[in-house]
Amino acid sequence: MTLLDTRASALADRYAAIRDHTEMLAAPLSPEDQTIQSMPDASPAKWHRAHVTWFFETFLLLPHLPGYRRFREEFAFLFNSYYEAAGPRHARPKRGMLTRPSASEVGAYRAHVDAAMARLLEKAPAETLPLVELGLQHEQQHQELLLTDILHALSQNPLLPAYDTGWREPAAASGPARMLDGPDGIREIGSAGGGFAFDNEAPRHKVWLDPYRIADRLVTNGEWLDFMADGGYRTATLWMSEGWARAQAEAWQAPFYWHRREGGWSQFTLAGLHPIDPAAPVRHICWYEAEAYARWAGRRLPTEAEWEAACGLPGLQQAADTAWQWTGSAYRPYPGFRPWEGAVGEYNGKFMIGQMVLRGGSLATPPGHARPNYRNFFPPDARWQFTGLRLAEDAA
């Protein structure tokens, strides 16, 4: 067996495992659950399952597997997301109108594509292997989105039904937060190659970091309750102007999915509604909230360069398995950034405006998907993701 054959075989196993994981995540959902779209920024679970399948069909099977035929021609229109070069698409805010195809037909579509991908991976040309890996990383992103989107959808139901009553929350960090000295001076951040990275993680480049300190753990619910009790949501001077206007317009009083009940606050989670755990990390806050809290605490958000340089420090907790962490950095290209060639070049570069960078990973991030140089990004008012914060401060 050649090295290429070995790589293709390993990738075929990885392909099967990741595709199976998507179906495992969808298993607790009824056909009705899979169709609902609760807001324009979210997508139905059924659409996520179909879109990641469309990716493999469009970018791998049609150009690289001789004789392959689409499962249904209409799916090219229904399940494209934002790839202008791949053709027209169904409007994103109307994905919840797709009662058909059914969830079971989407399952048949996935099986059709999986069978064809198995044939392709038997004798995959070397140039297709990076694209297969991109497709798998893309599917893992949608696995997390499937969970965040169904959490939002179920939160709109007055019954507040659980996605999975057996869903387990991550362990809380113990003890008071400590501020760790971060690496300073000239540092390098970004992908150095040798493993998968999205195009926005490259090229690796030098940055200058002034002396700083970074918290060893995330801000907790209990600490956030102190912020609330001290008027955090009522004090305009803590907030950016746009954030304050949004908070007032939508009457924010607490993080998203928090409910005031007799006896205190509860939080709606994938396991249902549960009393707030003061020791658990606060989640479902937007950048505006995170920045206001940091200002109230007399500290600030770390830059993404500070966060990446500090990742791996002895004593640093909750780096990648609890909540995505807002940084103080706008989402912009690295010096020398070049998007991938072709339609997949639309993956990251065209979104580099009006968004803020998050680092780390969350309880919904698939195992093995997070890495220190991963750059997640969302608009500063996004609250429905598993987002939290870690504090930083200047050392001088």
One domain, residues 202 and 305? yes
One domain, residues 137 and 264? no
One domain, residues 199 and 105? no
Q: Is there a contact between 359 and 324 (Cβ–Cβ < 8 Å)?
A: yes
Cβ neighbours, 10 Å, residue 90 = 16
For the chain, residues with pLDDT lower than 70 are: 1-5
Residue 166 belongs to a domain: no
Report the side by side order of strands in the sheet with 258-261: 258-261, 264-269, 272-275
For the chain, what is the domain count? 2
In this predicted structure, what is the pLDDT of residue 198?
Answer: 94
One domain, residues 324 and 233? yes
One domain, residues 194 and 260? yes
Q: Identify residue 224 by its one-letter amino acid code.
A: W
One domain, residues 150 and 193? no
One domain, residues 363 and 327? yes
From 326, 288, 322, select the one nearest 307 (Cα to Cα): 326
One domain, residues 269 and 379? yes
In this predicted structure, what is the pLDDT of residue 174?
Answer: 77
Instruction: Encode burial over 293-323: b for 16+ CB neighbours within 10 A, e otherwise.
Output: bbbbbebbbbbbbbbbbbbeeeebbbbbbbb
State the CATH number of the domain containing residue 335. 3.90.1580.10
DSSP assigned state of 268: E
Domain interval for residue 40: 3-155
Residue 165 belongs to a domain: no
Residue 223 belongs to a domain: yes
DSSP assigned state of 300: B
In this predicted structure, what is the pLDDT of residue 265?
Answer: 97
Residue 201 belongs to a domain: yes
One domain, residues 195 and 134? no
What would the two tokens of residue 319 be? 């780096």
Cβ neighbours, 10 Å, residue 114 = 15
The 10s digit of each residue's pLDDT in 195-206 is: 999 999 999 999
In this predicted structure, what is the pLDDT of residue 1?
Answer: 52
Q: Identify residue 349 by its one-letter amino acid code.
A: G
Cα–Cα distances in angstroms (integers) from residue 72 to residues 69, 76, 105, 113, in the given order:
8, 8, 10, 11
Q: Is there a contact between 297 and 391 (Cβ–Cβ < 8 Å)?
A: yes
One domain, residues 335 and 380? yes
Report the side by side order of strands in the sheet with 387-388: 376-378, 356-359, 324-330, 387-388
One domain, residues 190 and 333? yes
Residue 172 belongs to a domain: no
- Angle ∠(313,318,321) on CA atoms, nearest 5: 125
Residue 160 belongs to a domain: no
In this predicted structure, what is the pLDDT of residue 2?
Answer: 63
From 137, 136, 159, select the one nearest 33 (Cα to Cα): 159
Residue 128 belongs to a domain: yes
State the CATH number of the domain containing residue 150. 1.20.120
In this predicted structure, what is the pLDDT of residue 185?
Answer: 98
One domain, residues 284 and 388? yes
Residue 173 belongs to a domain: no
